[in-house]
Amino acid sequence: MKATVFHGARDVRVETVPDPSIREPTDAIVRVVNAAICGSDLWPYRGVAKWEAGARLGHEFTGIVEAVGSGVTAVRTGQFVAAPFSYADGSCAFCRQHLYTSCEHAGFWGGMDDDGGQGQFVRVPFADATLVAIPDAIGHDAVKRTAVLALTDVMGTGYHGVVSAGTQAGGTVVVVGDGAVGLCAVQSARYLGAERVVSVGHHAERLALAERFGATDVVDSHDPDAAQRVVELTHGGAPSVVEAVGMQSSLDLALAVVRDGGTVAFVGVPAGMETLAFRRLFSGNVALRGALAPVRAYLPELMSALAAGAIDPSPVFTLKLPLEGAPQGYKAMDERAAIKVALEISTP
């Protein structure tokens, strides 16, 4: 089969690799329909994260179940399914608390040992616990088929951010970051009934998309007075703030705009974060929550919301390419020419 393979900084290739096969009774083989390139995929691409040459890429995909192991009972062949960005056994103490990313047997797609989502087929461990069926209302709609791809990571992560930040119906939320996760956090906040949503970023076209997603206000993060502007808009700071970038500057901004007694949820993959304003947290009774999203916990609810038309994150995919175009897609995201790339690999 063909798959996207990492060879070094800014060196990603689509190559022939071995086909996956059933190894355990709980496995399934999924033929990938759509896969995505994630902002976190750019860390190895840029050389920030040190990966071995030969590692597979991609952790966001949807597809058709082609084969199942003898122990699989909830998933059947021919089913259109979505996979969260990590797999889990569904039965350990952490899974029972819906903290699937801390599962005792959790794993992540790609790397040296697992198939990446950016390939034609993927072996899925713990298929019954990991895969979520995609209803016909989504599978038969081209736009929703693209949108459901976002639920495997960025929409679920943005949703985790606003939930962890304590978003309330009628409340105020500030989202720091205008990437795919930040934009999905804006849409999630509106879905949960937030009355005021402030999107903070520095790309005009992305802030415009944030407004389409329901942001009531947008603020340029490159403005030296950005924090003051947000505090003024929120009448003294927001009770719920989502940090969706993972940089020191974005975390500092988030802590500067949260109201005393409020919560900052950080869901951006940390890159270069070295300090934390403990005095601000302590003296302001500010809670810091969030982190790695247990997307599997949110997939059923978000799937229902998408099927009903209550959410639509499909506009975050600003470039669609075939699998062979993956290197072009990485380049486009690296150069900020695309928010997020969808790879169209096969037909459902």
CB atoms within 10 A of CB 222: 9
Q: What are 272-291's pLDDT values in tens digits? A: 788 999 999 999 999 999 78
Calpha distance 105→122 (Å, rounded): 18
Asked if residue 254 has pLDDT above 80, the reply is: yes
Residue 87 structure tokens: 């797999």
Tell me the pLDDT band of 122, cut-offs 50, 70 and 90.
very high
Output the pLDDT for position 88.
Answer: 97
Q: In this structure, which topology does domain 157-290 adopt according to CATH?
A: Rossmann fold (3.40.50)
What backbone phi and psi angles, to 5 degrees, belong to 235? 55, 50
Q: What is the pLDDT averaged over residues 46-75?
A: 96
Residue ranges of domains in the chain: 2-153+294-344, 157-290
Q: Collect all residues with Cβ–Cβ distance below 8 Å to 336 and sequence separation of at least 6.
A: 203
Q: Are 7 and 112 in contact (CB under 8 A)?
A: no
What backbone phi and psi angles, to 5 degrees, belong to 3? -155, 160
Stated pTM of the model: 0.96
Q: Assign domain 2-153+294-344 one CATH number from 3.90.1640.10, 3.90.180.10, 3.40.30.10, 3.40.190.10.
A: 3.90.180.10
Q: What are 182-241's pLDDT values in tens digits? A: 999 999 999 999 999 999 999 999 999 999 999 999 999 999 999 999 999 999 999 999
Strands (DSSP E) along 116-156, which ranges? 121-124, 132-133
Calpha distance 175→201 (Å, rounded): 9
Of 30 and 113, the one with more pLDDT = 30
